[in-house]
Structure 1
């Protein structure tokens, strides 16, 4: 659970770093790159420990899969709440198909 919590916090920061600047198009590109780097540094302060801790329980592929699912959830909320973009049905279907991959990665074969 600690791994999931740390990855979730990490993804909130990374989503802000990658997409938060879209509401600040009046600022020079150099400025938003610099601010995004600062936010990404904070993201790494959560992501690196999450993977270190998680690797005791999960494989690297499983950690990446967990991170991607969290990313989809965080990004969906971010795009609707912060960017005020609609979450269209085809986005949901596409995300669901990606989440279906979780079954294959975590299933003991």
Structure 2
């Protein structure tokens, strides 16, 4: 479970680093880059241990799929509350496809 919690935390930081600045388009790009790099530092402080801990249980492929599912979940919540976007059926369909991909990654046939 630590892997999942750390990945959620790291994705929250990274989502703010990558997209949070879009509300502040008047801020010069160089400042946005510096702030984003500062935020990304904390993302790495969670992501690296998450992968190290997770590698004891999961393969690298499985870790990547877990991370992608978490990324889309975090971004869906972020875009809804931070930008006021609305999620539509196609967002849920895309998420369902990703979950199906995760299912196949974790099951050997």
TM-score range, shorter chain: over 0.9
Q: Which runs of 4+ in 1 moved over 3 A?
A: none
Counterpart in 2 of 1:74?
74
Q: Distance in 1 between matches of 2:98 and 2:66?
A: 12
TM-score, normalised to structure 1, is: 0.97
Q: How many residues align?
A: 109
- 1:55-90 Cα offsets, whole Å, 9 max, x none, are 000000000010000001100000000111111211
Counterpart in 2 of 1:25?
25
Counterpart in 1 of 2:16?
16
TM-score, normalised to structure 2, is: 0.97
Structure 1 gap ranges (5+): none
Structure 2 gap ranges (5+): none
